[in-house]
């Protein structure tokens, strides 16, 4: 069983097509077909069902895909370990929700790439449940999560910092004048949300519903920047991580309403598969993340002692 055959098989399975796989691998389509046929002959079973123009994995193909992914990863790990020497090199694939990708990770990645220019960083955005799945499958080396603290039997998950959340409004909004607000104060408000599947959105909605609050109007947006601009224009209120709105609050463009955020507390966490090989590149990245996390916690402690958001 040749590695190149397994790599071709995995690419066909992921792209769901021989033509797309051939384009990605820079092969002739006939070469892709021949390699898959060679695998099927060697294993004595069909790996794909051809349903018109569509192809789907057979049961045997699904089993082989799991093994192929592990074999190819082990091969890549061996090559990296034996050729990289003491200098981190290779590729790191990282997953994170938008808020962390935009407000927590840039400083880390900037410092890391300046220290280790031979490492290529690939950052993939996603919602937390999707990122955990990709960490399990090995498609991502490490993922960052923004959700209530969790533990998984097959993932190493480490909490980096407890994030404060903010309900933000335009500075001239009537609720901005209150010394404190409660859930029921939001009954008649328009709430601007991130996409469904966002952990802190789900947590906030469950909290409101548990208090008997079902806001009349909810609007969904594709990005945090869009939400902030719409809140500033008076379209509604929003529930966002404090790190994403600190600048606008400091500039007086947004107002963080005073409330008890304990029921909706989330944490920035990093996670990777417990069986994941920690390459020199990944080890150095983990070290740098923990170094930055110490600063995040020191800053959070200083803010907590000086004010309550």
pLDDT value for 50: 82
Q: pLDDT tens-digit profile of 14-66? A: 888 888 888 888 888 888 899 999 999 999 999 998 877 788 899 999 999 98
User: Where residue 243 sits, what CATH number does that domain have?
Assistant: 3.40.190.10
Residues 201, 232 within the same domain = yes
pLDDT value for 106: 95
C-alpha to C-alpha distance for 201 and 190, rounded to whole angstroms: 14
Residues 158, 285 within the same domain = yes
pLDDT value for 219: 85
C-alpha to C-alpha distance for 237 and 167, rounded to whole angstroms: 7
What are the DSSP calls for 3-26, one per residue? HHHHHHHHHHHHHTSHHHHHHHHT
Boundary residue ending a domain (51, 82, 113):
82
Residues 259, 287 within the same domain = no
Region for 26 from its dihedrals, namely left if φ exceeds 0, alpha if ψ lies in -120 to 50, beta otherwise: left
pTM higher than 0.75 for the full model? Answer: no
pLDDT value for 267: 94
pLDDT value for 271: 96
Query: Which among 263, 264, 268, 233 is positioned nearest to 248, based on CA atoms?
Result: 233
C-alpha to C-alpha distance for 139 and 142, rounded to whole angstroms: 9
C-alpha to C-alpha distance for 249 and 232, rounded to whole angstroms: 11
User: Where residue 12 sits, what CATH number does that domain have?
Assistant: 1.10.10.10
Q: State yes or no: pLDDT of 104 exceeds 90.
A: yes
C-alpha to C-alpha distance for 196 and 221, rounded to whole angstroms: 10
Residues 288, 147 within the same domain = yes
Helix, strand, coil percentages, rounded to 5, for the chain? 50, 20, 30
Q: How much of the chain exceeds pLDDT 90, in percent?
A: 51
Alpha helix segments (H runs only) across 211-241: 224-232
- More reliable by pLDDT, 76 or 19: 19
Boundary residue ending a domain (59, 82, 105):
82
In whole angstroms, how far apart are CA 15 and each of 20, 23, 24, 45, 54?
A: 6, 10, 9, 21, 11
Residues 176, 245 within the same domain = yes
Q: pLDDT tens-digit profile of 244-261? A: 999 999 999 999 999 887
Do 161 and 297 meet the contact criterion of CB atoms below 8 Å apart? yes
pLDDT value for 308: 44
Residues 151, 273 within the same domain = yes
Q: State yes or no: pLDDT of 84 exceeds 80.
A: no
pLDDT value for 173: 94
If you compute the radius of gyration of the chain from its CA atoms, what whole number of angstroms results? 24
Q: How many domains does the chain have?
A: 3
- Host domain of residue 240: 165-264
Task: Cite the beta strand spans of the chain per DSSP E.
Answer: 48-51, 54-57, 90-96, 119-125, 142-147, 155-163, 165-169, 190-193, 217-220, 237-241, 255-256, 266-273
Task: Cite the beta strand spans of 215-265 per DSSP E.
Answer: 217-220, 237-241, 255-256
C-alpha to C-alpha distance for 218 and 240, rounded to whole angstroms: 14
Residues 58, 68 within the same domain = yes
Q: pLDDT tens-digit profile of 181-223? A: 999 999 889 999 887 778 888 889 899 999 998 877 788 888 8
Residues 259, 170 within the same domain = yes
Residues 174, 258 within the same domain = yes
Average predicted confidence (pLDDT) for the chain: 88
pLDDT value for 96: 95
Boundary residue ending a domain (30, 58, 82):
82
Residues 270, 260 within the same domain = no
Residues 170, 137 within the same domain = no
Residues 191, 247 within the same domain = yes
Do 268 and 144 meet the contact criterion of CB atoms below 8 Å apart? yes
């Amino acid at each position: 069983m040749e590695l190149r055959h397994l790599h071709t098989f995995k690419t066909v399975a992921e792209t769901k097509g021989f033509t797309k796989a051939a384009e990605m691998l820079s092969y002739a389509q006939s070469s892709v077909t021949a390699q898959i046929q060679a695998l099927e002959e060697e294993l004595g079973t069909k790996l794909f069902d051809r349903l018109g123009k569509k192809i789907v994995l057979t049961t045997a193909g699904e089993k082989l895909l799991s093994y192929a992914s592990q074999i190819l990863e082990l091969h890549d790990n061996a090559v990296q370990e034996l050729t990289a020497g003491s200098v981190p090199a290779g590729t790191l694939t990282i997953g994170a929700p938008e808020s962390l990708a935009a407000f927590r990770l840039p400083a880390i990645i900037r410092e890391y790439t300046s220290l280790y220019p031979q490492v290529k960083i690939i950052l993939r955005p996603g919602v937390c449940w999707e990122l955990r799945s990709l960490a399990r499958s090995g498609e991502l080396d490490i993922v960052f999560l923004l959700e209530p603290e969790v533990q998984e039997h097959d993932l190493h998950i480490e909490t980096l910092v407890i994030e404060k959340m903010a309900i933000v409004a335009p500075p001239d909004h009537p609720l901005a004048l209150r010394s404190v607000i409660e859930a029921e104060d939001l009954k008649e408000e328009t709430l601007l949300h991130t996409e469904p599947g966002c952990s802190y959105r789900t947590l906030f909605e469950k909290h409101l519903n548990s208090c008997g609050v079902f806001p009349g109007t909810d609007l969904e947006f594709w990005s945090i920047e869009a939400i902030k601009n719409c809140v500033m224009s008076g379209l509604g209120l929003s529930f966002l991580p404090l790190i994403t709105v600190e600048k606008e609050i400091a500039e007086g463009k947004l107002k963080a309403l005073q409330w008890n955020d304990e029921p909706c507390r989330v944490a920035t966490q990093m996670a990777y598969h417990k069986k994941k090989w920690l390459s020199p590149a990944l080890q150095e990245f983990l070290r740098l993340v923990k170094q930055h996390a110490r600063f995040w916690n020191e800053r959070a402690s200083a803010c907590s002692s000086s004010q309550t958001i």
